[in-house]
């Protein structure tokens, strides 16, 4: 990513300039250094964590969903929060994430069904008719 302004970085800069805000003002709002924000805008850093994206969106009066989507499309990793006592769960998630693109839709549906039947996915419904997965609150 080094050297090429990312879509996320360009959007942040565009929004900041539209608001006529300085790097210093944005950096203070997000509680990060000016260099950090500049590096994001210039594509020298990956997009920040979700909580910082929300801070950026609030300060810039921007749609956080749009910024989150841009950031997600550029990140080469997925953050997961796992209780240290459940570290094997993280291992399962990592294995699934690494292989998910190689699975066909029927295989994904089968995996979801097996997990639901096992009891590990309470509140998740999967519809094979339209291949949508819904997470219920």
How far from chain centre, in Å, is Cα 22? 26
* 132 phi, psi to nearest 5 deg: -105, 145
Query: Closest by alpha carbon to 35, among 47, 25, 23?
Result: 23
Task: State which CATH number among 1.10.260.40, 1.10.357.10, 1.10.10.10, 1.20.1250.20 fits the domain covering 7-74.
Answer: 1.10.260.40
- 32 pLDDT band, cuts 50/70/90, is very high
Domain chopping of the chain, boundaries: 7-74, 84-135
**Which one is predicted more confidently, 63 or 131?**
63
Q: What is the pLDDT of residue 23?
A: 97
pTM: 0.56
Q: Where are the beta strands (DSSP E) in the chain?
A: 124-127, 132-135
55-95 per-position pLDDT tens digit: 999 999 999 999 988 888 887 656 666 677 777 777 777 77
């Amino acid at each position: 990513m080094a050297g090429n302004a990312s879509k996320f970085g360009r959007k942040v800069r565009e929004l900041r300039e539209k608001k006529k805000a300085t790097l210093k003002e944005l950096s203070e709002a997000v509680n990060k250094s000016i260099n950090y924000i500049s590096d994001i805008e210039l594509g020298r850093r990956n997009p920040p964590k979700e909580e910082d994206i929300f801070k950026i969106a609030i300060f810039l009066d921007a749609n956080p969903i749009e910024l989150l989507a841009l950031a997600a499309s550029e990140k080469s990793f997925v953050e997961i929060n796992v209780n240290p006592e459940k570290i094997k769960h993280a291992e399962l998630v990592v294995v699934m994430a690494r292989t998910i693109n190689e699975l066909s839709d029927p295989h994904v549906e089968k995996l979801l069904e097996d997990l639901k039947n096992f009891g590990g996915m309470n509140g998740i419904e999967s519809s094979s008719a339209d291949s949508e997965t819904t997470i219920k609150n």
